[in-house]
A = this chain, B = another copy of it.
Amino acid sequence: MAGGGSWRWLCVLRARQLGALLRGRCRCLGVSAASRLVEAGLQPRLDKFGGLSLHLAQLRSPDSLDTATFQGWLQDSVKQWKAEGQKAIWLHVPILQSRFIAAAAEQGFTFHHAESDCATLTLWLGEGCSKLPHYATHQLGVAGAVLNTNTGKVLVVQDRNKTTNVWKFPGGLSEPGEDIGNTAVREVFEETGIKSEFKSLLSIRQQHRHPGAFGKSDMYIICRLDPYSFDISFCQQECLRCEWIDLAELAKTKDTTPITTNVARLLLYGYKEGFDKIDLTMKEFPAVYTGLFYKLYHRELPDDYRNTTNL
């Protein structure tokens, strides 16, 4: 499973050695600073990542708590938690209570992430650099290489906001929670009006410090799609041109990007010699954690290797 090696040991340590003890301590802090937080409604909880977690949404009377008082409580509590051997504090702040953020920052808290109406700050109390997991590091872009196998023509577009005439596969950013294949099919339809079906995954590109990704990394996946409509009706706002062009032409032309050239050649190889030579096919599995399903993509396994008895 994916999981940050650096914080996993912390989870183990916290969950096994400090968990029960910690909850006990938080309840019996007596006249301590942390107990004043608890009286105000802030019951620190052991976080799944192995730190203490405070949710300011639980404050009983947030409007009557001034930032100086909160800052004093937090300062004393942090000292106490550190003395108790806590490794990290997570602070969840509703946007309308954001006046407490600067107070926390004065104690060394920084933003871990924020979205919509809540910010999450962290303070690392352990030794060395923070071992807490990072927030999401990648945006995901997906394009669709829609090939009409009857004509050998593939669907390409030219972006309206680019100066050069560069053919590329239609595509765009994945929506939160959207499957790779669905992004490809949706973006192809939005840009070109062509309806299509996901067949396989062809290529993956990773690019760091992407200016269009707020400095985060960009993952860009090209999928192979089968068309089931053929009349182009392209988005005039996004595209300058949209055409079905000969795949061999696309593989040769200089009016394109290196990725498009590579994937066009790959697609030509698959078209001539069998798509099993180029495809990563998809299989669905139930997820342990969420009760949802996840999708796994890899080369198709021959029948001989699918059954345990043959191995």
Distance of A110 Cα from B15 Cα, bound (Å): 34
CB distance from A283 to the nearest CB of B (A): 7
Check if B48 sits within 8 Å of A211, measured CB to CB. Answer: yes
Which residue of the partner chain B has the closest CB to A171?
A: B2
Contacts A2-B140, A102-B95, A212-B2 hold; do A206 and B218 have CB atoms under 8 A apart?
Answer: no
Check if A296 sits within 8 Å of B205, measured CB to CB. Answer: yes
Interface residues on A, range: 35 or more
Check if A174 sits within 8 Å of B137, measured CB to CB. Answer: yes
Say which one of A24-32, A116-124, A225-233 lies at the interface with B: A116-124
Mask: chain A, 188-211; 1 = CB below 8 Å from B; 0 = not: 001100000000011111111111
Q: A residues engaging B (CB < 8 A)? A: 1-6, 8-9, 11-13, 15, 48, 67, 95-99, 101-102, 105-106, 110-120, 133-143, 159-161, 168, 171-177, 179-180, 187, 190-191, 201-214, 216-220, 235, 237-238, 248, 251-252, 257-259, 262-263, 265-266, 268-269, 277-278, 280, 283, 285, 287, 289-290, 292, 294-299, 301-302, 305-306, 308, 311
